[in-house]
Amino acid sequence: MNRLKKLIWFESMFLIKTKTIIYLLGVFITMLVLSIVFPMNFNSDIDYKMVLGSVASVIIQFLGIGLIGLLCNLFYRDKKFSYHYWFIKHKITITDIVRSRFIFYNILFSLLAGLMFIASSIIFIFMYEVNISFYSYLYMLVLVILSTTYVVSLMIMISALVVDFVSSSGLFILIWFTIGIINGVTPYLGGYLSPLDASSVQSGVISEISGIGSNFIAEIDIYSYLLALLLPVIYAFVFYLISIKFNKYKRGIN
């Protein structure tokens, strides 16, 4: 527990010292502006529900790209800046490193994504009439948070499996595109693979609640609502297990 605390402290100090946190806030703010402007550009008859749906979709589908610079660099930077010595000195194992990063970044970005969603919903109260029920709003908020854990876990897993920075970011982009291709070829299967695409079950549920467009083709029922929430968490857990078991982060520590 002590080592875990040390590592989380180490990660937060890294974000602050390298000023990465400022750039990440920049990512969130620009994404917020994009999600505000985006629906206005295409539809003049938009309402509160639709704008919230757009915000949720933008966060789920684009956040991954914004985080590439940090999360795909996660294990490579240890090698580059020789953080290994610090880990050896504090008797920290590889499992500790992977676990602490999963915990820290999942909490950090889920919170930031959730806050961004809440902030946008507050901003829009002044612009549109509120026409969404509390439970629908809460559902969308939880969906955004859980989908963010999927994206973050996927990126940490890629970073742990392919330690090189260019390779891991390239691989993430490849996966992003491949999900899009699978959705095009087998839409029923593709919808349940990842929330990153506009054809996903998450996108379908958001569309059902908010009334914005989606490419999800299966019918939305109560199970879809449940699956949309559960699938990202299950996938995130699988990604965690894969990272612990198959990470290539072995040199210099053990």
Partner 1 sequence: MKEIVYFESKRFYKGKIYIKYILVLLALLLLSYAIIKISDSTYTFKNIELIIYENFTSLFALISSIFISTAISKEHEDKTMNWYISKKIKIRDVVVGKFIFYFINLSIISITIFLISFFINGRVYGNGLTVLPTLSIITILVSVYFFIISLNIFISATQKNSGICIILSFVVWIILNISSMLKVVGLYIAPFIISSIQYESFYKLLNYGEIPNNFLLIVLLPIVYGLLLLIAAVYMAKKLLNDNTI
Q: Report the alpha-carbon distance of residue 227 to residue 219 in Å, rounded.
A: 13
**Residue 6 Cβ, how far from partner 1 at the closest point, in Å?**
22
**Residue 249 Cβ, how far from partner 1 at the closest point, in Å?**
17
Query: 90-105 burial, b if ≥16 CB within 10 A, otherwise e?
Result: eebebebbbbbbbebb
**Residue 167 Cβ, how far from partner 1 at the closest point, in Å?**
6
Of residues 54, 110, 120, 183, which one binds partner 1 by CB under 8 A? Answer: 183
Of residues 169, 194, 202, 210, which one binds partner 1 by CB under 8 A? Answer: 169
Q: Does residue 223 belong to the site contacting partner 1 (CB under 8 A)?
A: no
Q: Does residue 43 belong to the site contacting partner 1 (CB under 8 A)?
A: no
Q: Report the alpha-carbon distance of residue 175 to residue 223 in Å, rounded.
A: 26
Q: Does residue 191 belong to the site contacting partner 1 (CB under 8 A)?
A: no
Interface with partner 1 (CB under 8 A) = 18-20, 23-24, 26-27, 30-31, 33-34, 37, 41, 65-70, 72-73, 77, 80, 164-167, 169-171, 173-174, 177-178, 180-181, 183-185, 187, 198-199, 215
